[in-house]
Chains A and B, each alone.
Chain A
Amino acid sequence: DAGVIQSPRHEVTEMGQEVTLRCKPISGHDYLFWYRQTMMRGLELLIYFNNNVPIDDSGMPEDRFSAKMPNASFSTLKIQPSEPRDSAVYFCASSFPPTLGELFFGEGSRLTVL
């Protein structure tokens, strides 16, 4: 299996622009997670899905952030409009219920908002 695939790996944009990050989970995994990592706050859970349904989005910073999972093999995290404080590495992870102790992370998308 190719693992969790994220794109783009790097994104540089200007304040006010829309940013879309993409994730393809491991086939057969029922859970998908979006995390954000910064030096100041470490790894933070933004939202997670179970069987394509958002279960907990309490970690989403504000209404500028939205996430969707239209099918079992694709998810997006969108920021509109982006702000410099959104600069971070965004990770997607997936897991399968029988082994919920193990999350499989993608390589991350490094976002820089100027």
Chain B
Amino acid sequence: DAKTTQPTSMDCAEGRAANLPCNHSTISGNEYVYWYRQIHSQGPQYIIHGLKNNETNEMASLIITEDRKSSTLILPHATLRDTAVYYCIVSLLGSNYQLIWGAGTKLIIKP
């Protein structure tokens, strides 16, 4: 069973920041939080991952709460091309074969 809980769908206006929440209340101390996205008819695409510190790369920022029970993926300036299903996954680094994919959040960017 997936160990994360995400909203089924979200909307965001183009040009605004998209904030996607994820609950992972049973995360263990050595499990990482991963985010992937899947644009329609394409393969999943890695976005970012983190353990306890906030992380940022060219695609997004990942904010993990201090108790690590939840996190937020932030797309700072959403574009129409960011419309996709976003998956939040928890897993041990080095064991990515254990990635358990839930249903994800369908993010729709509106003009």
Residue from B45, B97, B102 within 8 A of A33 (CB atoms): B97
Closest A residue to B32 by beta carbon equals A101
How many pairs of A and B residues are in contact by the CB < 8 Å rule?
49
* A105 in contact with B45 (CB, 8 Å): yes
- For A42, A95, A101, A102, the residue with the greatest tally of chain B CB atoms inside 10 Å of its CB is A101
How far apart are A107's CB and chain B's nearest CB, in angstroms?
A: 5
Size of interface on B: residues with Cβ below 8 Å to A: 19
Interface string of B80-96 (1 = CB under 8 A from A): 00000000000001111
Q: Identify the closest chain B residue to A101 (Cβ).
A: B49
Q: How far is the CA of A78 from the CA of B51 in the complex (A)?
A: 37
Q: A55 interface residue, CB < 8 Å from B?
A: yes
Interface positions, chain B 15-41, Cβ under 8 Å from A, are 32, 34, 36, 41
Which residue from A45, A91, A101 sits with its C-beta under 8 Å from B93? A101
When distances are taken between beta carbons in the complex, the residues of chain A under 8 Å from B102 are 42
Rounded to whole Å, the gap between the CB of B53 and the closest CB of chain A is 14
Are A103 and B99 closer than 8 Å at their CB atoms? yes
Further 9 A-B residue pairs, CB within 8 A, beyond A56-B97, A100-B93, A107-B43: A43-B101, A44-B101, A95-B96, A102-B46, A103-B96, A103-B99, A105-B44, A107-B42, A108-B43
Enumerate chain A interface residues (CB-CB to B < 8 A): 4, 31, 33, 42-45, 48, 55-56, 91, 93, 95, 97, 100-108
